[in-house]
């Protein structure tokens, strides 16, 4: 009991400083693998060092940070769930121990017993959005996390710049607005919109498909 209380206290202290706890091989074996435990641990195995050139790892890490921050600052926050990360360059022995040869990978380590197949998040089929990770965590731990994303004003700023540009152009040419009635110009603009819509860009934006998925027939990625 004293050992368990010490482990929980240490994890809570680390969580108070940073939503995602960075672990190496020793910390992983002590706080994630070794009993006793009465808490669940979500581990992201990744390779974030620039020399690894893993752009997917960086994107997944951003979503993981959003999810961990949502849990840390929620009213339901408790010592029943912790978010950790193992980078390959800091814990290569952990990757070897788990026979893991790809990144990023998300795993849930339950309070008792070993992780089952469902405790590995199907990133290739579902994607790594924070909302999808939260749903998977709820299925595995019964801990429900409401995802809060920081406000993104880039779209508003881009729209304001576009409106300002168009307004400035119209003002500068206020004495000669015949170009507005140019049918060829409007036709070219319409074609650009049509090509953008039929290219699949809008479908990707709305549906948010995963980066990759497996062929159900042969399992090939």
Handedness of CA 199, 64, 26, 81 (dihedral sign): negative
pLDDT of residue 199: 86
Domains held by the chain: number: 2
Domain of 108, in residue numbers: 3-141
For residue 135, pLDDT beyond 90:
yes
Domain end residue (candidates: 91, 126, 141):
141
Residues 124 and 20 in one domain: yes
Establish if 219 belongs to a structural domain. Answer: no
Residues 29 and 105 in one domain: yes
Residues 126 and 37 in one domain: yes
Establish if 161 belongs to a structural domain. Answer: no
Strand ordering across the sheet containing 81-87: 20-22, 81-87, 40-46, 105-109
Residues 91 and 30 in one domain: yes
Establish if 133 belongs to a structural domain. Answer: yes
For residue 100, pLDDT beyond 90:
no
By residue count, the chain amounts to: 221
Establish if 15 belongs to a structural domain. Answer: yes
Rounded to the nearest integer, the mean pLDDT of the chain is 89
Is residue 84 within 8 Å of residue 30, measured between CB atoms? no
Q: Record the tokens describing residue 209, joined without a space.
A: 């498909």
* Among the ranges given (119-123, 177-181, 184-188, 190-194), the one the predictor scored with the smallest mean pLDDT: 177-181
Segment 123-130 mean pLDDT: 87
């Amino acid at each position: 009991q004293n050992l368990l209380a010490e482990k929980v206290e240490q994890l809570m202290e680390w969580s108070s400083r940073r939503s995602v706890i960075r672990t190496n091989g020793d910390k992983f074996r002590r706080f994630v693998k070794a009993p006793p435990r009465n808490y669940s641990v979500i581990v992201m195995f990744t390779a974030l060092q620039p020399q690894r050139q893993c752009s997917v790892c960086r994107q997944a890490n951003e979503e993981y940070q959003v999810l961990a921050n949502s849990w840390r600052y929620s009213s339901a926050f408790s010592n029943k769930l912790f978010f950790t990360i193992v980078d390959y360059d800091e814990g290569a022995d952990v990757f070897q121990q788990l026979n893991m040869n790809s990144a990023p990978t998300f795993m849930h380590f339950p309070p008792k017993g070993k992780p089952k197949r469902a405790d590995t998040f199907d990133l290739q089929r579902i994607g790594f959005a924070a909302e999808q990770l939260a749903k998977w965590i709820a299925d595995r731990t019964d801990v429900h996390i409401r995802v809060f994303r920081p406000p993104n004003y880039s779209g508003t700023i881009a729209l304001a710049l576009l409106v300002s540009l168009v307004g400035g152009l119209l003002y500068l040419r206020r004495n000669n607005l015949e170009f507005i009635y140019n049918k060829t110009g409007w036709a070219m603009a319409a074609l650009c919109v049509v090509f953008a819509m039929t290219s699949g860009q809008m479908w990707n934006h709305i549906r948010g498909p995963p980066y990759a998925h497996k062929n159900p027939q042969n399992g090939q990625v």
